[in-house]
Chains A and B, each alone.
Chain A
Amino acid sequence: MASRTFVAARLPGFSTIAIAVFIALYLPIAMLMIYSFNAGDSIAIWDGFSFQWYERAWENDKVKEVTIRSLIIAASAASISTVAATMAALATTRKKPFRGQTGIYVAINQPLMVPEIVTAVALLIFFASVKVATGYQGLGYLILAHSAFCVPFAYLPIRARLEGMNLTLETAAADLYATPWRTFRYVTLPILAPGIVAGMMLAFVTSLDDVVITLFVKSAGQDTLPTYLLAQIRRQVTGEVNAISTVLLALTVILLTTFFLLTRKRS
């Protein structure tokens, strides 16, 4: 009779389900990527390898336009939200709690708790009036909206980094004749830097991926890459969408990998 060591942590079928889940998670994305290199225009029949969809996407002026717009918005929103989040993190971490601190914390995390569609609708209503009142139709609305919902994404890694920082280091700097500003500049900021970069990357990715809020806030002719893709998906799907998606996915994975390497705890 075959006997197997009794492993307490093993639960029957769990590993099988888990492996199936991992396959199910990656298979659709893999298919999408594979067919971005299809020579034919089917999304299900392989006609050989080609870069044609990438070439077409590259030559598509509309794609260029929306990509640049997306990058402008994401870069602006990531910068603005990271600066604001860094300042807020410095104010709300490690200090003696003060009246209103919980309120600030809730406010910063508010975008994580409210369904996007609700914020989107509220912004649509608000900005509609502002647009009428000021006549301004530019990218400012999108940048403001993106900066706002990116704040918690930038805030979390910065706060985590700050909390892990030894407070005595700042005391030591003050002891060694550094004024508060110099303490911040030469001690706090350099130690905080990986957290700030990580926060900025998360904010950038979050802004770059946003569909719903952009859809409701944008004025005519202000499509971003995701809203452009959404419109394309509803029409006849071509490999061009696959190609763009693949590039976007690759970009996200690169940024995320860097993020994990940055925030990884040092041994």
Chain B
Amino acid sequence: MSSDDALIEIVDVTKAFGAGERRFLALGGVNATIRKGEFFTLLGPSGCGKTTLLRLIAGFELPSSGEIRLDGQEIGHLPPFRRPVNTVFQNYALFPHMTVAQNIAFGLEMLGKPKAEIAATVERMLTLVKMTELAGRRTDQLSGGQQQRVALARALAPQPKLLLLDEPLSALDLKLRKEMQVELKRIQHETGITFIFVTHDQEEALTMSDRIAVMSRGQILQIGTPREIYAHPTNRFVADFIGETNFLRAAVKGGRAVLGPGVELPLAAGTADGEVTLAIRPEHIRLVPEGAAGALSATVGDATYFGTDSHVHLTLADGTGIVARQQTDPEGTQGPQAGAVLGVTFPPSAVQVLED
């Protein structure tokens, strides 16, 4: 990762709330570099520290230790109004006593921009978010989706180096959310501004991001592109939080994982002997006739039909429960019956060794 295209560098940042017995460590030593022009997502369950990290970058909280650098300059201790960073708030936080246009102009006015420039920028922003007709409306007369657009325009108007979005889509219904996801990508593309997006929705993260940081309990567990995160999760939490995963215990012997009698998988070089946890996605499990070469024997529990595919619950000989996803075939053939005994195989490339 070259540092000359780095916009934000987060170095060993910790954040604790309260003191003494009530002390709570919201962030415990976080490191990350966010590149210029990137759509970067902080993904994790509620309470994982993703919003805290966002608020530290915005300046609403001060870090307990560590540094936040913007373009190489330490900004961690600047008040929010001195940082070229703007935020789209979860509930938009539009000023109720101002019109749409006044809301958008606010940041520019505070920066002391000339009137003509403000008017032009507001006009441009209204066009960008497709709200030109509603410029004179009061914000409490807008729908959720419209408020969302105004909040976005307001935060973009001062042309920040970095836009922070705190679960901006969580208050919208599903259809509107899908629409706004597309819109956000378009706007980011048009403006070229770096976005840091906070969400707990893994699907949203996968579809929108250039890179994702998965967070849990105040730590960043893995940073990578959506493909990397999904295909090569490095630990159990990431594998489990993103998509569905089966976990298998296996003994490692001479660089091969031994899953059962005669079922061995090659592992990446350098894997030490011992016990490991393997992760495998349901769609990568193949169902074969019992006794096929290299197949583990499994008993079918029940199958749930989902239209495009079925989820088949299986129990392995050692009692481990796994789920396999089977595409519905064009003939609409009935899937495996409960109680049947089958063989399961895993393509070696689909198996991930987890760090635990």
Contacts of A179 in B (CB 8 A): 81, 110
Partner of A168, one of B86, B91, B106, B155: B91
Partner of A175, one of B86, B91, B111, B140: B86
Contacts of B58 in A (CB 8 A): 175
A129 at the interface (CB under 8 A from B): no
Contact A182 B110 (CB under 8 A): yes
Given the interface contacts A177-B111, A182-B110, does A172 sit within 8 Å of B158 by beta carbon? Answer: no
Partner of A177, one of B97, B110, B140: B110
Q: How far is the CA of A48 from the CA of B89 in the complex (A)?
A: 67
Q: How far is the CA of A190 from the CA of B98 in the complex (A)?
A: 10
Question: Distance in Å from the Cβ of A266 to the closest Cβ of chain B?
Answer: 8
Contact A171 B60 (CB under 8 A): yes
Given the interface contacts A166-B93, A168-B89, does A176 sit within 8 Å of B110 by beta carbon? Answer: yes
Partner of A191, one of B85, B96, B111, B155: B96
Question: Distance in Å from the Cβ of B85 to the closest Cβ of chain A?
Answer: 8
Partner of A172, one of B82, B87, B140: B87
B80 at the interface (CB under 8 A from A): yes
Given the interface contacts A168-B91, A169-B95, A191-B97, does A174 sit within 8 Å of B79 by beta carbon? Answer: yes
Contacts of B79 in A (CB 8 A): 174
For the complex, would chain A's binding face be called helix, strand, loop or mixed by DSSP majority? helix
Partner of B106, one of A166, A173, A191: A173
Given the interface contacts A168-B89, A168-B91, A182-B110, does A174 sit within 8 Å of B97 by beta carbon? Answer: no
Partner of B60, one of A166, A174, A187: A174
B76 at the interface (CB under 8 A from A): no
Q: How far is the CA of A256 from the CA of B107 in the complex (A)?
A: 38
Contact A177 B89 (CB under 8 A): no
Given the interface contacts A168-B89, A182-B110, does A177 sit within 8 Å of B95 by beta carbon? Answer: no
Q: How far is the CA of A122 from the CA of B347 in the complex (A)?
A: 91
A72 at the interface (CB under 8 A from B): no
Contact B93 A172 (CB under 8 A): yes
Question: Distance in Å from the Cβ of A265 to the closest Cβ of chain B?
Answer: 13
Q: How far is the CA of A172 from the CA of B103 in the complex (A)?
A: 11
Question: Distance in Å from the Cβ of B50 to the closest Cβ of chain A?
Answer: 17
Partner of B81, one of A169, A178, A186: A178
In chain B, residues 125-148, which have Cβ atoms closer than 8 Å to a Cβ of chain A?
140
In chain A, residues 187-225, which have Cβ atoms closer than 8 Å to a Cβ of chain B?
187, 190-191
Contacts of B281 in A (CB 8 A): none
Q: Who on chain B is nearest to A169 by CB? A: B93
Q: Who on chain A is nearest to B106 by CB? A: A176
Contacts of B154 in A (CB 8 A): 176
Q: Who on chain B is nearest to A193 by CB? A: B97
Contact A168 B93 (CB under 8 A): yes
Contacts of A190 in B (CB 8 A): 97
Contacts of B87 in A (CB 8 A): 171-172, 175
Contacts of A171 in B (CB 8 A): 60, 80, 87, 89, 93
Per-position 1/0 for A144-187, Cβ under 8 A of B: 00000000000000000000001011011111111100100011
Q: How far is the CA of A173 from the CA of B79 in the complex (A)?
A: 12
Q: How far is the CA of A173 from the CA of B60 in the complex (A)?
A: 11
Q: Who on chain A is nearest to B79 by CB? A: A174
Question: Distance in Å from the Cβ of A166 to the closest Cβ of chain B?
Answer: 6
Question: Distance in Å from the Cβ of B271 to the closest Cβ of chain A?
Answer: 48
Per-position 1/0 for A243-267, Cβ under 8 A of B: 0000000000000000000000010
Per-position 1/0 for B50-69, Cβ under 8 A of A: 00000000111000000000
Question: Distance in Å from the Cβ of B70 to the closest Cβ of chain A?
Answer: 15
In chain B, residues 141-191, which have Cβ atoms closer than 8 Å to a Cβ of chain A?
154-155, 158
Q: How far is the CA of A97 from the CA of B138 in the complex (A)?
A: 34
Q: How far is the CA of A175 from the CA of B155 in the complex (A)?
A: 9
Q: How far is the CA of A151 from the CA of B107 in the complex (A)?
A: 36
Q: How far is the CA of A6 from the CA of B294 in the complex (A)?
A: 77
Contact B80 A175 (CB under 8 A): yes
Given the interface contacts A171-B60, A171-B89, does A176 sit within 8 Å of B97 by beta carbon? Answer: no
Question: Distance in Å from the Cβ of B290 to the closest Cβ of chain A?
Answer: 60
Q: Who on chain A is nearest to B151 by CB? A: A172
Per-position 1/0 for B77-117, Cβ under 8 A of A: 00111100111010101011100000000110011000000
Per-position 1/0 for B227-253, Cβ under 8 A of A: 000000000000000000000000000
Give me 13 A-to-B residue pairs in the complex whose CB atoms sit less than 8 angstroms apart, sorted by A's number: A166-B93, A169-B95, A171-B80, A171-B93, A172-B93, A174-B60, A175-B81, A176-B81, A176-B106, A177-B158, A178-B110, A191-B96, A266-B140
Given contacts A166-B91, A174-B81, 13 further A-B contacts (CB under 8 A): A168-B89, A169-B96, A171-B80, A172-B87, A174-B59, A175-B60, A175-B80, A175-B81, A175-B155, A176-B106, A176-B155, A177-B81, A191-B95
- Residue numbers of B with Cβ under 8 A of A are 58-60, 79-82, 85-87, 89, 91, 93, 95-97, 106-107, 110-111, 140, 154-155, 158
Q: List 10 A-B pairs, minimum CB-CB distance, nearest first.
A: A176-B107, A172-B93, A177-B110, A168-B93, A174-B80, A178-B110, A190-B97, A177-B81, A175-B87, A174-B81
